[in-house]
A and B are shown apart, each in its own frame.
Chain A
Amino acid sequence: GAVVSQHPSRVICKSGTSVKIECRSLDFQATTMFWYRQFPKQSLMLMATSNEGSKATYEQGVEKDKFLINHASLTLSTLTVTSAHPEDSSFYICSANPGQGYYGYTFGSGTRLTVV
């Protein structure tokens, strides 16, 4: 079936540094991928839509200069958290839709970011 691979699963970084998270579609091409953020005991909030070969579309209230998204190929999207601060600590999940109508959305395994 359609698989989305996300890496790393956990990362700890110091305040002020940048962290890159990768999201890959392993057996299908994804012109669009989605990045979500999840706080403890809360639901997923859409941060941005990643578009292959063009700029990402950010949701209201999401700082595009802090959360840089690159979708350089049909199977890879990256999210870079720049100048990370402790309040950026969260669970980040990517998603893609394999298409063909009936699969729905497939999610990566998530990345737990802790900024110290």
Chain B
Amino acid sequence: KQEVTQIPAALSVPEGENLVLNCSFTDSAIYNLQWFRQDPGKGLTSLLLIQSSQREQTSGRLNASLDKSSGRSTLYIAASQPGDSATYLCAVLNQGGKLIFGQGTELSVKP
């Protein structure tokens, strides 16, 4: 059974810092991995999608990496801003066609 774990559960940083969020999964047989952002009481916004054959994806200040063999992904946020404060979720699409989510990392960026 696929399990997705995100560390840390919560993170508070001062504005301007670079930071890394971690995601690990137990079954490497995945189609892709997706990082999402969720603001309180809102739906999910897709940030980056990495196909199983890819190693990383970049969008603006965000960079996501994928090491499928070790079951790990990281989301790197450069020069963090207060507007980045949200919960970040990673999810893997397993070979059964289901999206399995981690518990999320709650990020707070202090001005």
Contacts and interface: CB of A to CB of B under 8 A. Distances in A.
A80 B111 CA distance: 43
Contacts of B42: 109-110
B71 interface: no
Contacts, number: 48
B19 to A, nearest CB: 20
Given A43-B89, A112-B41, A105 B99 contact: yes
The B interface, classified by DSSP as helix, strand, loop or mixed, is strand
Contact of A6 (B34, B43, B99, B101): B43
A108 to B, nearest CB: 5
A102 B41 contact: no
Interface in B34-90: 34, 36, 41-46, 49, 51, 89
A115 interface: no
Interface of A: 6, 34, 42-46, 49, 91, 93, 95, 101-110, 112
Closest 4 CB pairs of A and B: A104-B49, A107-B44, A109-B43, A110-B43
Given A95-B44, A95-B99, A107-B44, 11 more contacts: A6-B43, A43-B101, A44-B91, A93-B44, A103-B49, A104-B32, A104-B93, A105-B34, A105-B91, A107-B45, A108-B43
Interface of B: 32, 34, 36, 41-46, 49, 51, 89, 91, 93, 98-99, 101-104
